[in-house]
Each structure stands twice: as structure tokens, then as C-alpha cells.
Amino acid sequence: MRMEKETMDKDIMEILTPVLGQELAAAIIEHRSRTLKKPLTAYAARIQVKEYLKTGNPVDAAEMQILRGWRAIKSDWYFNEKAREAGSDNANTGRRTLVDAARDFLSGDDHSGDAFGLSGFRRH
């Protein structure tokens, strides 16, 4: 039984490593077997690799899977999470900040006609 598991893990490593690298591949196997108590099969690993690749960032997708405690990841779950993360970042920037104003000024988008919002000081 022990020998069979080692052979299976070796097969799964050979499937995952070219896409994820050795350390992350081992982490995915450990995540599935120890954390979730649902060991990965070689067949499931091949399916999972396809989903990792569909994301365009397989390492980030595999890390998301581990961090979220997911048994697997589908590319649309990955993109939904990324969109949700981006949305929560943008939710905090509803008001204009000094950095926004400075960026606009430096890019010439202030449209005030003068350098500091004071009449008579023209930008050269």
C-alpha cells in the first residue's frame, strides 16, 4: 500500500511540476491529502493542470486554491475571485485623494490653467 501511494504521488508530481514547479506541486499534493483528506489522483491532476493553464497564471491559481482551502479550482472561479478582489480594492477609492490630484497635475490633466490653482502662476 505504501509503495503504491509513493508511485501515485510521483506520477502526480510529474503531471504538476512542469506547470507549477516542484515546491508548489508538492504543496498541492499535501493540501489535498493532509489538509482536505481527499488525495489527488493522476487523472484529476491532469484535469486540474488544464484549469490552472486556462487562468494564464497557473502558480497564482494553485496558490489561491491552497489559500482558499479549495479542493480544486476552475478557471472561472479564479477570475471571479480576482474580479472580487479588484472590486474590494476599488471600493475604498471612491473619494479623490491627494495622490490622485498630484497625479493629475503631473500629467497635465488639472485643466486649471495654472500650476497651483492660484491665478497668475502659469506652468511653463
The pTM for the full model equals: 0.66
Span 3-19, average pLDDT: 87
User: Does 25 or 98 have the greater pLDDT score?
Assistant: 25
Q: Which three cell numbers stand for residue 90?
A: 476599488
The H-assigned helical ranges of the chain are 2-20, 22-30, 42-54, 58-68, 75-91, 98-107
Q: What is the pLDDT of residues 69-100, one digit of tens each?
A: 999 999 999 999 999 988 876 655 555 566 66
Instruction: Scan for cell 502558480, then name that residue.
Output: 59
Measured distance CA(48)–CA(67) in Å, rounded: 16
Measured distance CA(36)–CA(68) in Å, rounded: 12
Instruction: Look up residue 39 and give its DSSP letter.
Output: P
Task: Please report the pLDDT score of residue 101 as a whole number.
Answer: 63
Measured distance CA(101)–CA(112) in Å, rounded: 12
Cβ neighbors of 124 (< 8 A, separation 6 or more) are none
Task: Please report the pLDDT score of residue 49 as a whole number.
Answer: 97
